Structures are given as C-alpha cells and as structure tokens.
C-alpha cells in the first residue's frame, strides 16, 4: 500500500532490459552514442518539432533549473505558482543556476495560475525600474502540485499573457505524460503550439530509473544549454545509460501506457475516497495525484497496517476525529488489489 510518491515505484521491466542491452560493449560518451540519435529523432517526431533541441539529464531539478537559467537573466523574475516544485522542493536550484533570478508567486484556483492575476503582476512589476527584478519568464507545472491538470486552452491563455510581456514560457513536465493522458491532448498541443518555449519532459516518476529530457523548441538556445549543462556537472560521460532508458520509454508509446496505468489507479483510489463519509478531496484529481482529508484515527490505523503516504497537517497529538490532509500518489505499478486493500482498511 505505497502511495507516498511515484518516485518510489520500481523501474519498468522494459527499461531494465534496455539498460542490459546498452551495457554490451563500448559506446561513445557524452551523448554521442547512437541510441541518443534515435531518442532525439523520436522526441522530435512525438512533438512534431523537427528543429527542437533535445538533451538528457538525470533529475527533474537539473532539468528545471538549467531550462530556466538558459532563458532567464540573473536580474529576472520567474513567475510561478506558490506551490510549484521550483518554488518549494528544489532548495533554491533555479535561483542558483540563474545566478540570482527571483521566483515571484502568482496564485489562482485549483493549484493553477490565474491569467488575470499574472497579467496584473507583470504589469505592476517595475514601478521604479532598476530597483526591481525585471519580468523575465513564466514557469508552469503540468500536472500541478495539487494534482490538477492545465488544459491546452489554459496553458495557451497564460502563454498569451507572457508573450504580450515578451516572456518565454517553461513547462515543468515531471508528470507530463499523466497530464497528456488526463486531458487527451497531443504533446505538440500542450507545448509549443500553446506557447511553451522549453519543456522538462519527465520520466523518473513514470517508470524510468533516473532520466529527464529537456526539449527546447527554439534551437537558437541549444548551445547555451549545452554549456550550462556541462558547467553544472550534469553532462553524463556514460550517457548511453540515460539514452537507453529514454529510448525504451518512448518505444511503442510505453510512456503513455505507463501513465494510463498510473492514472487509472489514481481514479480508482479517488473514487474510493469520495465514497467515504468522513473523507474530503481537496481538489478534483484527473490523474494520479490527490489530496484528501481523513480523520487522525483513520490515518493511525492505515499507518499501523503499513500504508505509506505523506500527511501534511496535524503534527503531534490531537482528537481522533480531527481531519488531517494527506497526499496520495499512484504509479504505473500500483495494483487494484493494493488500492482496494487500502480503501477497505480506511473504511474500518
């Protein structure tokens, strides 16, 4: 009954098999391997972007921070949702890699950024010129950290505001596959056609051992990204092991199949939580991540039985009927039996 994070899921067997195959004999290093040539071509095909620059790194933090640094100057403001991963969970990496840019929070309903709020924030950003950080970039997350999904139209509306102010757009797609499956959008529709300039294309949360792609839709920025990646220590010498993971991920659309399994498990869990009289879902989850409030006593019973998930409120002691908010995340490996056992347990 593991619902703590899709990061904790095992590696998909197709990916492990690809790593074994890639381990046979020598191969060119630093991304010159033949597997990477195929990965680059496949991502360009998937995104309908024949000129896109494609790079691999090992972590989502590296993908996000290097992407932002490539487009944002040190004196820039990066507009993001207050709970965005870059704002809460990356230990200042975007600020560090940009050499000083500031993350400016813009909120909205359902864990998303409100376009009107973004327009107002940008319009009022520089009342005294040189004394303020300058509007520089917009960063979105899909799926959001609340477990909700931006539609293509919502991304396009925010990108339109950014474009009007001359700001490039970054999309943190750690759960990009889950968002695509949830919204039935195409990769091109959710990215460059909607106004996205650079994408962190996630894989680690969706069955890979540890690799994320950075897809830059403006190839003029490619060389700068390469230099920043090397300088930051994120250019792997034995790059073929990153390439092999991504190749297996993309082959026969495994990445979408894994995301569908994770989302289906999430919807099964969400339906079960909705049916409980003493549980409240914080948002309507379309995919595999959700927040729900359950009584403290129910949490204690679940934890005692071995259920793993994060509780985000109510530290210390308190009454058994006190509602505590928790996060639940399913993965490609979550089974119906696992979900049903957990739901049966919390029903009592």
The class level of CATH for 13-253 reads alpha beta
Residue 195 has pLDDT above 80, yes or no: yes
Separation between Cα atoms, residue 218 and residue 51, nearest integer Å:
8
Burial tier of 175 (Cβ tally within 10 Å: 0-12, 13-18, 19+): buried
Q: What is the mean pLDDT of residues 238-255?
A: 98
152-188: pLDDT as tens digits? 999 999 999 999 999 999 999 999 999 999 999 999 9
Residue 315 has pLDDT above 80, yes or no: no
What H or E segment, with its residue span, contains residue 69?
helix 60-71
Q: What is the pLDDT of residue 313?
A: 81
Residue 108 has pLDDT above 80, yes or no: yes
Of 217, 197, 258, 282, which Cα lies nearest the Cα of 49?
217
Q: What is the pLDDT of residue 57?
A: 98
Residue span(s) of the chain under CATH 3.40.640.10 come to 13-253
CA distance to 201, 246, 266, per residue, from 180 (Å): 12, 18, 15
Residue span(s) of the chain under CATH 3.90.1150.10 come to 255-347
pLDDT over 90 percentage in the chain: 94
Residue 44 has pLDDT above 90, yes or no: yes
Residue 128 has pLDDT above 80, yes or no: no
Residue 27 has pLDDT above 90, yes or no: yes
The gap from C-alpha 94 to its chain's centroid, in whole angstroms, comes to: 15
Q: Which fold does the domain 255-347 belong to in CATH? A: 3.90.1150
All residues at 6 or more sequence positions from 218 whose CB lies less than 8 Å from its CB, including other chains: 197, 198
Separation between Cα atoms, residue 259 and residue 309, nearest integer Å:
20
Q: What is the pLDDT of residue 275?
A: 94
Q: What is the pLDDT of residue 55?
A: 98
Separation between Cα atoms, residue 63 and residue 57, nearest integer Å:
6
First to last CA, the chain: 16
Residue 281 has pLDDT above 80, yes or no: yes
Q: What is the pLDDT of residue 126?
A: 77
The model's confidence at residue 220, banded by pLDDT at 50, 70 and 90, is: very high
14-26: pLDDT as tens digits? 999 999 999 999 9
Task: For the chain, give the mean pLDDT.
Answer: 96
Q: What is the pLDDT of residue 129?
A: 83
Separation between Cα atoms, residue 223 and residue 215, nearest integer Å:
13
């Amino acid at each position: 009954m593991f619902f703590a994070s899709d990061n904790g899921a095992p590696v998909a067997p197709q990916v492990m098999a690809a790593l074994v195959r890639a381990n046979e004999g020598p191969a060119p290093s630093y991304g010159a391997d033949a597997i990477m040539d195929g990965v680059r071509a496949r991502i360009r095909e998937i995104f309908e972007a024949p000129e896109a620059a494609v790079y691999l790194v090992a972590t989502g933090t590296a993908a996000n921070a290097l992407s932002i640094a490539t487009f944002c100057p040190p004196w820039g403001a990066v507009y993001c949702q207050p709970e965005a991963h870059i704002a809460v969970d990356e230990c200042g990496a975007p600020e560090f890699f940009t050499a000083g840019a500031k993350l400016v929070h813009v909120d909205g309903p359902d864990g998303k950024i409100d376009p009107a709020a973004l327009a107002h924030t940008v319009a009022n950003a520089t009342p005294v010129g040189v004394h303020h950080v300058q509007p520089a970039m917009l960063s979105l997350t899909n799926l959001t950290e609340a477990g909700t999904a931006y539609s293509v139209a919502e991304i396009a509306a925010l990108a339109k505001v950014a474009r009007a102010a001359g700001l490039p757009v970054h999309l943190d797609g750690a759960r990009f596959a889950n968002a695509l499956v949830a919204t039935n959008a195409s990769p091109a529709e959710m990215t460059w056609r909607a106004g996205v300039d650079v994408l962190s294309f996630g894989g680690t949360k969706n069955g890979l051992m540890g690799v994320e792609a950075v897809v830059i839709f403006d190839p003029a920025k490619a060389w700068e990204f390469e230099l920043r990646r090397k300088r930051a220590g994120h250019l792997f010498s034995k790059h073929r092991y990153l390439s092999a993971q991504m190749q297996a991920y993309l082959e026969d659309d495994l990445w979408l199949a894994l995301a569908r399994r994770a989302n289906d498990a999430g919807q099964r869990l969400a339906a079960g939580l909705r049916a409980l009289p003493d549980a409240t879902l914080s948002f309507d989850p379309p995919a595999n991540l959700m927040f729900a409030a359950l009584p403290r006593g129910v949490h204690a019973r679940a934890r005692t039985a071995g259920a793993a998930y994060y509780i985000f409120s109510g530290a210390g002691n308190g009454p058994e009927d006190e509602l505590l908010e928790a996060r639940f995340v399913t993965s490609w490996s979550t089974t119906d039996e696992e979900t049903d056992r957990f739901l049966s347990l919390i029903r009592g």
